[in-house]
Structure 1
Amino acid sequence: RNRGYRTAMIGKWHLGQPWRPSLGYEYWVALTIGHTVDFWNNHVIDNGKSLEIKGRHIVDYLTDKAVEYIENYDGTAPFYLQLNYDGPYVNPPTNLGPAKNRFYKSYLGQEFKSFPRLAFNKNLAQQILEDEKHPPFVVEKLFEALQMHNDPETMANVASQNTLVDDGVGRVLAALKRRGLARNTLVIFSSDQGNFYGQHGIWEHTTATTPSNLYETPMNIPLIFRHVGHIVPGRRSDALLGQYDLPVTLLDYLGIDDAVFAGSPGRSFAAILKGADTRQGRDAVFFEQEETRGVRTKRYSFWRRLEGTGMPELYDMQLDPEQKTNVYGKKEYERVAARLSRQLDTFFATYSNPKYDLWHGGVAKGSLMRPSMFQRLYGKDWQPRTELLPAFTEDVGAHRTGPAREPLAD
């Protein structure tokens, strides 16, 4: 917005309160919940108006709003539209059993070869057996995961949710074409996370297991760029990128070089979009899920847990791409594990905000799956924190993005 763009956010907002525009957005249509319990009955803040959206699938509603925004675009300034779909949502109750959307019936009776058929995960089964040790919400999610596991109707539900989003994206692209904007609009398709749909015997999120896991399925997300006439279609890249690289890459591609992301490790990889070697990615990317931290290099995936919550895991992605065998502790991998562990420490020591550093007594910005885990480590007074922070402001022109340094090497 500070660079002359019209700004819009439509959909799910997981970065603070949803009741009024955040981070410089002008046009604001936001769901008021984080965990979806019904696609057909939702509360939305539509540019200051409080609306109940009933009898219409929320994905279709959000698509309608995005198409409407594009149709009403007056062309007086460039626009930035962020469309955050609330689907596919592979978390019960929305994906448990049959679905009501218009694509569901076409998937009934299908074989679903892409869905793994494995035994229910032992970690989840053990938690069910020890249900008195876990919060009721966790136990409820585990029982729902057990119901979904290898269930054909749930598989059809998940497939139909994906198709509903595909249909919505197609409608948005068609609206751009109708308005003559397709060649002058950069379109990015990505996701906040992946989800399990049977891999490793797990459904739902990385926090389903205890301790949390960082398997490839939820951590490897789609990232597609489309700019007609500028980005060569069909090119694929195996470059390693982190989500923290996306804002810097976007601004660099657009030629905006006077913004700063303080404390961020983000680097621009816009050169890949413009035709550079598609392998020129990072040596390593880093993850965190509550008590579990991880680093992914081109060959290895290494996770370490906060002391007292679980053991490390190491996977050789070249020899074991499906992550079936944890090789941590094997003599031939000792030096690899030690090196990756040092990288993990260096990265988080450099970029963690002490206030929110869960590994050193910091608080959570929002909800946690198992807050009792941290209370056991830090005392009963420790609590996740919800607070209203000052509105975002930027000192325009005070900094330039420039290339961020690569603090670590593989």
Structure 2
Amino acid sequence: MTGDAGRGRPNIIVFLSDDQGPWALGAAGNPEIRTPVLDALAARGARAGRFFCTSPVCSPARASLLTGRIPSAHGVHDYLDGPHAGPESVDHLDGVPAFTDALADAGYRLGLSGKWHLGASDVPRRGFVHWYALHGGGSPYHDAPMYRGSTPETATGYLTDAIADDAIAFLEAEAREPDPFFLAVNFTAPHKPFAGQHPDEFTELYRDCAFESCPQEEPHPWLQHLHGGPIGGEPDAREALIGYFAAVTAMDAAIGRVLDRLGGLGLAQDTIVVFLSDNGFNAGHHGIWGKGNGTFPMNMYDESVMVPFIVAAPGRVAEGLVVDDLLSAYDFPATLLELAGLDGSAFESGPGRSFAARLGSAADGRAPEDRAVVVHSEYGPVRMIRTHGRKYVHRFPYGPHEFYDLEADPGERVNLVDDPGRGAEVQALRHRMHGWFAEHAERALDGAVLPVFGAGQLAPLGDDPLSAFAAPGWDGAGPAAV
């Protein structure tokens, strides 16, 4: 699509990383990690400084990005560990409207390159004319199992580059088409495995790095272990850090190749480009390696529930803007559709609201909404409410609960939930949180009463919700967290 005036709709590319902490970006203030392409994207677009996932683990977070619904309204509560393809695998979002459906209805041609991890990876979804999907939720970075449409194949070479190569091929094909395109480029980087997985040109950049941005603190008392190391890490923390940082930089370079080809095809001025991650990640922060299920009970530290977010769109998004609002994945579908000039109101029937106007968008001239500055996340029986200055974490049925004064304690070091002087604040946040979930959760899909251990979800919720979840197995016999 050449973007002539008769078409009127921009192309869209969404780059999604896997397990990238909000700190793992040069533009976010990390002087050690090298992300020149993403830093440049932020400079010519807008970056959200506090963007939250709806759940600090991949499958529910990705489901919310697609649907604008919280896990307790779409029914995916943990990473999916059931059959990923074949006749026994199911689409966990079957019947749940996604923003990709709205794009297909508007005449967009849809493409996927990379990780899906929402069941039935071998079944292209509605509107997708291109489908190159990872078999499951994770894999080594070489010889990864993929599906091209419904046909299995192996991604030879380095997986990050294979995903980028496939995305470039899609762009080259779509440049000849009259209709606009949407492309999801879903990397597995920087998800583990870390050590020995990435090209030398990237690992050598960090061989002598001090990693002051990732201090290796004393292990958290709730830290979970698997195969001799933290469940989200590896036994050699320094080699894991080298691999994690190398994975991010290699992904940054791959994104650069995709964007260069976009420009070479004459499409850059007519394309909305988004970069974000599914969930956050602790790389030693708080003594944790991993995200929400790096600990049991599952944690809601900002490193786990915040992600980087960048969007650039010439004429639609202001350049060099940093938005400090508290924003969430459930806001994403309505925002993206508004930026594209489409009606996203169907994705505002729940908690999500478009924040396009806060990006300098001229999509419809609306003034920014005066919305409550609060976000929520959940992970099964663990729920969070966060304002600019406070955070409350509630664990059904018995706790432990947490309350942090983020103005005095931005690092979430001192749990004040039992401080008598804070009782009124705790009670107010707890009441507000319970009311919000009562409004937006669906009773049959409510995670507060489900046995979510962070050990995987096997099937959609049914008559027996207990059967949908894997038993916890952090002794090394259970599934790896993805």
Structure 2 alignment gaps of length 5 or more:
1-103, 458-463, 471-482
Q: Counterpart of 1:346 in structure 2: which amino acid?
A: G
Is 1:164 the counterpart of 2:265 in the alignment? no
Is 1:175 the counterpart of 2:261 in the alignment? yes
Task: Return closer, same or farther for 1:258/1:298 CA change in 2, 3 Å cut-off.
Answer: closer
Q: Which structure has the larger Rg?
A: 1
**TM-score for the superposition, normalised by structure 1:** 0.80
Task: Return closer, same or farther for 1:259/1:25 CA change in 2, 3 Å cut-off.
Answer: farther
- For 1:254 and 1:62, the matched residues in 2 are separated by 25
Is 1:298 the counterpart of 2:401 in the alignment? no
Aligned to 1:237: 323
Aligned to 1:123: 222
Q: CA deviation at 1:23?
A: 4.4
Q: Counterpart of 2:136 in structure 1: which amino acid?
A: I
2:276–2:308 CA contact under 8 A, matched in 1: yes
SS in structure 2 of the partner of residue 122 of structure 1: coil
- For 2:285 and 2:423, the matched residues in 1 are separated by 27
SS in structure 1 of the partner of residue 327 of structure 2: coil
Aligned to 1:40: 142
SS in structure 2 of the partner of residue 88 of structure 1: coil
Q: Which moved more, 1:251-260 or 1:273-282?
A: 273-282
Task: Return closer, same or farther for 1:140/1:356 CA change in 2, 3 Å cut-off.
Answer: farther
Aligned to 2:72: none
- For 2:343 and 2:233, the matched residues in 1 are separated by 46
Could you tell me which of 377, 380, 392 is aligned with 1:287? 377
- For 2:228 and 2:239, the matched residues in 1 are separated by 20
1:9–1:28 CA contact under 8 A, matched in 2: yes
Q: CA deviation at 1:243?
A: 0.3
Could you tell me which of 147, 151, 154 is aligned with 1:49? 151
1:265–1:351 CA contact under 8 A, matched in 2: yes
Task: Return closer, same or farther for 1:105/1:356 CA change in 2, 3 Å cut-off.
Answer: same
Mapping of residues 11-410 of structure 1, within 5 Å: 11-36=114-139, 38-54=140-156, 56-73=157-174, 74-89=176-191, 91=192, 94-95=193-194, 97-102=195-200, 103-124=202-223, 142=230, 145=233, 147-148=235-236, 151-257=237-343, 260-261=346-347, 264-274=350-360, 282-308=372-398, 310-361=399-450, 368-369=454-455, 382-384=466-468
Task: Return closer, same or farther for 1:62/1:156 CA change in 2, 3 Å cut-off.
Answer: same
Could you tell me which of 113, 126, 130 is aligned with 1:10? 113
Structure 1 alignment gaps of length 5 or more:
129-137, 372-379, 387-410
1:240–1:282 CA contact under 8 A, matched in 2: no
- For 1:139 and 1:369, the matched residues in 2 are separated by 14
Q: Which has the higher contact order (CA 8 A, sep 6+)?
A: 2
- For 1:271 and 1:206, the matched residues in 2 are separated by 31
SS in structure 1 of the partner of residue 128 of structure 2: coil
Q: Counterpart of 2:162 in structure 1: which amino acid?
A: Y
Task: Show structure 1 runs of 4+ deviating over 3 A.
Answer: 97-100, 138-146, 275-282
Q: CA deviation at 1:194?
A: 1.0
- For 2:234 and 2:344, the matched residues in 1 are separated by 50
Task: Return closer, same or farther for 1:283/1:259 CA change in 2, 3 Å cut-off.
Answer: closer
Aligned to 1:133: none
Q: CA deviation at 1:260?
A: 1.8
Q: CA deviation at 1:84?
A: 0.7
Aligned to 1:394: none
Q: Counterpart of 2:254 in structure 1: which amino acid?
A: G
Q: Which moved more, 1:235-244 or 1:342-351?
A: 342-351
Count of matched residue pairs: 355
**TM-score for the superposition, normalised by structure 2:** 0.69
Deviations 1:355-394 (Å, cap 9, x if unpaired)?
2212235x87xx94278xxxxxxxx9822169xxxxxxxx
- For 1:190 and 1:258, the matched residues in 2 are separated by 20
2:144–2:155 CA contact under 8 A, matched in 1: yes
Indicate the RMSD between aligned Cα atoms, in angstroms. Answer: 2.6
1:237–1:278 CA contact under 8 A, matched in 2: no
Q: Counterpart of 2:187 in structure 1: which amino acid?
A: Y
Q: CA deviation at 1:289?
A: 1.3
SS in structure 2 of the partner of residue 186 of structure 1: strand
1:63–1:168 CA contact under 8 A, matched in 2: yes
SS in structure 1 of the partner of residue 110 of structure 2: strand
Identity of aligned residues (%): 28
- For 2:454 and 2:297, the matched residues in 1 are separated by 12
